[in-house]
Structure 1
Amino acid sequence: MAPIRTARTPLPTCVVFAAGEYYHEPIDVPPGAFVVAADGGYDHARELGVQVDAVVGDFDSVHSARSAIGAETVALPPQKDDPDLLSALKIGWAHGGRAFHIYGGLGGRVDHTISNIQQLAFIAAHGGIAFLHGAGQIVTAICDAALTFPPHPVHGTQYISVFAHSDEARGVDERGLAYELHDATMTNLQVNGLSNEFVDGLGAEVRVRRGLLTVVFDAAAPLPTLVGAPAAAGTLGAPSTHVSAALADRG
């Protein structure tokens, strides 16, 4: 059995700037966080006055000159298996990050948003956690673990929705919410976790004993704590620099 992480141990933080929408919302870069920009995300970081530690991508959407970046730069070819954001996550992981806060990863093209949500699940499956911030909401994923939300004031309605990301998610609990769920089995072909609500002054927990969940919650809620996840993997692998042999190139 994989060792279990101590419930309240803070995870090393990595902040990632992607190239999508930013919604004029506040950006939080905790002291000591490792900061990575994924391609065009570097322009957003510059505009916000954030010093980045690394920039990665094929630089097809960066307006700044690469020579002026002044940070660790990882140049990738335009054709490769990994999207630039996944390469940024791999670099952040290699630098010790296990909790990722991603800005500019929601909105715009739907296919990019779906890809980014898949990457949340990828991080969760390796024992970390990642949050996509934007448009007044936060998206995350957990694997064989729980999210605990502290008690907080709720003015009006604060939504939280839970979906199975894996084929099945077993032993799903939703506690401390307006509608409680106990030891449920959810599937990725069934929608039965949409639009639950936080309760004023009450702590909440979302747990899955086996499987992957995608969780979407109101950004007005406090960030949750990851509890009971298996020990984090040592590596996510190197950023991709090629396309798989199964892909036919008509060029």
Structure 2
Amino acid sequence: MDNCVIFTGGVLDYPERLDSSVWKNAFVIAADSGYRYAQALGIIPDLAMGDYDSLGYIPENCGEVMTFPKEKDDSDLMLAIREALRRGYKDITIIGALGGRFDHTFSNLQSLGFIAKQGASGKIISADESITLNAPGEYRVRRDDSRSLSLFAYTEAVTGLTVSGVKYPLENSEITSFFPIGLSNVITDDYACISFKSGLLLIISSRL
């Protein structure tokens, strides 16, 4: 078991669309009211943690419980991420991090930046979205005609960006965080091939 799945307390629409293989054989953490989502999916978390101000009670049906005060520097999700990293997990998937208040959603996206800075891989998924924040390198995204592909610069600029296998390809280009030129591309080959040389790149697959 080298991957960790964290359930957090954003909006989780259409949970039946989630791929259950994501949390099978994973270490599961429920962050505060993310415990409800785990319960709804029939999952007994290995660890529940948070201040439980949103959940309203301290859960008992889980492997381990950690309780924190309401006044703290980290959000419940960040506490869960830190704990996952402390336990050595390098592949972290977050569920329930989208929807609801925009400040919470943006904070959750920034948590992917924290994960990347620690040398780990982070992903946020929902029934309709898959979001990764990527360091320079080469990546492939499988074609799914029900989804679009968007690429955004998380840092001020992403340079040396080459994208092939898509309707709107790029070759050794630069995109910046000041203009959304990478919105809603279409994968035309079996895979979109993405590579870049510097910066941090958000790769987002969205249901059409």
TM-score by length of structure 2 reads 0.89
Partners of 1:173 and 1:202 lie apart in 2 by 17
Are positions 1:164 and 2:177 aligned together? no
1:49-60 aligned at under 5 Å gives the runs 49-60=42-53
In the TM superposition, residue 19 of structure 1 has moved relative to its aligned partner by 0.8
Code of the residue aligned with 2:40 in structure 1: it is E
Partners of 1:174 and 1:80 lie apart in 2 by 42
Contact 2:52 2:58 in 1 (8 A): no
Tell me the secondary structure at the aligned position of residue 87 of structure 1: helix
Contact 1:121 1:214 in 2 (8 A): no
Query: Which residue number in structure 2 is paired with residue 191 of structure 1?
Result: 180
Query: Which residue number in structure 2 is paired with residue 176 of structure 1?
Result: 165
Q: Which stretches of structure 1, 4 residues or longer, exceed 3 Å deviation after superposition?
A: 63-66
Tell me the secondary structure at the aligned position of residue 110 of structure 2: helix
Query: Which residue number in structure 2 is paired with residue 210 of structure 1?
Result: 198
Tell me the secondary structure at the aligned position of residue 111 of structure 1: helix
Contact 2:13 2:127 in 1 (8 A): yes
In the TM superposition, residue 12 of structure 1 has moved relative to its aligned partner by 2.5
CA RMSD for the aligned pairs? Answer: 2.1
Which of structures 1 and 2 has the bigger CA Rg?
Answer: 1
Tell me the secondary structure at the aligned position of residue 210 of structure 1: coil
Equivalent of 1:105 in 78, 97, 103: 97
Query: Which residue number in structure 2 is paired with residue 46 of structure 1?
Result: 39
Equivalent of 2:110 in 115, 118, 133: 118
Partners of 2:182 and 2:7 lie apart in 1 by 29
Q: 1:179-212 deviations in whole A, cap 9, x for unaligned?
A: 111111222112221111111x422122221111
Residues 41-50 or 121-130, more deviating: 121-130
User: Against the structure 1 CA distance between its residues 193 and 205, is the aligned structure 2 distance closer, same or farther, given a 3 Å change threshold?
Assistant: same
Query: Which residue number in structure 1 is paired with residue 54 of structure 2?
Result: 61
Q: 1:106-138 deviations in whole A, cap 9, x for unaligned?
A: 000001110111111221232222221125111
Which runs of no fewer than 5 residues in structure 2 stay unpaired? none
In the TM superposition, residue 219 of structure 1 has moved relative to its aligned partner by 5.4
User: Against the structure 1 CA distance between its residues 100 and 219, is the aligned structure 2 distance closer, same or farther, given a 3 Å change threshold?
Assistant: farther
User: Against the structure 1 CA distance between its residues 138 and 163, is the aligned structure 2 distance closer, same or farther, given a 3 Å change threshold?
Assistant: same
In the TM superposition, residue 40 of structure 1 has moved relative to its aligned partner by 0.7
In the TM superposition, residue 63 of structure 1 has moved relative to its aligned partner by 3.7
In the TM superposition, residue 64 of structure 1 has moved relative to its aligned partner by 4.2
Code of the residue aligned with 1:185 in structure 2: it is E
Tell me the secondary structure at the aligned position of residue 131 of structure 1: strand
Query: Which residue number in structure 2 is paired with residue 20 of structure 1?
Result: 10
Partners of 1:15 and 1:166 lie apart in 2 by 26
- Sequence identity, in percent? 32
TM-score by length of structure 1 reads 0.75
Query: Which residue number in structure 2 is paired with residue 86 of structure 1?
Result: 78
Partners of 1:184 and 1:12 lie apart in 2 by 35
